[in-house]
Amino acid sequence: MTQSDPTKRDIRVLIVEDDADLRLMVATFLSSEDMAVVEAASARDMWRRLDEDDIDFMLLDVNLPDADGIELLGTLRGRSEVPVIMITAYDTPMDRIRGLEIGADDYIGKPFELRELLARMRSVLRRYAPAPTPKESGGILGFGQWTLDLTRRRLADAADREITLTSGEFDLLRCLAQSANIPLSRDQLMDLTRSRDWTPYDRSIDVLIGRLRKKIETNPNTPELIKTVRGIGYVLAAPVSRLD
């Protein structure tokens, strides 16, 4: 195993699924792929497992007997950025959008092929792996009250308080900052951030933009920094300076 391939390292996966047969099938398969598996049949079990175990990845059923999986995810995102793939029997666009907006990394509908599940998990793991930053892409950018350190992958406000960003959020903000005041289409942003490998949903860029606005805009409903350009995509509408 090498550190350059995050999908080959040992990871501990928490499967939160009340269907015992499905849970066993997935657990057996992932164990055969050299993953450590922890199981939970309910929301209560999930929280207990999270307290007891060091979890690297979660598979979370949307419909649990004691809680709504999407609401659980919202609570989870307040305390952890652990990668999560939602499992659902009702794979509708609105369900996917709702889950992605809250912080799901991907969705898979029942029934599913185990190899497809594994491929999606590996794609998410690649997204979370720290990517080496080319020297020419490093440095520190400043815009508004924000400082974006491209080498350390860190966003801080004027008081140097760090703002937690997911890997996808950081890459998207980096692309916008490096092309400040130049509108970029969704396709361009997907290509630049490699998000075509991350999720099959066309709304993924819109979801990430919404999450970024909540973190850096004074009023996300009337954004002053990340603006929508009708018919094109998005633009970072602010002067950007190099601070290094």
pLDDT at 154 over 60: yes
First to last CA, the chain: 36
Q: Which domains does the chain have, with CATH numbers?
A: 6-128 (3.40.50.2300), 135-242 (1.10.10.10)
- State the average pLDDT over residues 28-52: 94
pLDDT band at 89 (very low <50, low <70, confident <90, very high): confident
- State the average pLDDT over residues 192-200: 53
Q: How far apart are CA 235 and CA 228, in angstroms?
A: 7
- State the average pLDDT over residues 225-237: 90
Return mean pLDDT, the chain. Answer: 85
Which carries the bigger pLDDT value, residue 40 or residue 127? 40
pLDDT at 3 over 50: no
- 13-17, 224-228, 240-244, range with the lowest pLDDT: 240-244
pLDDT at 136 over 50: no
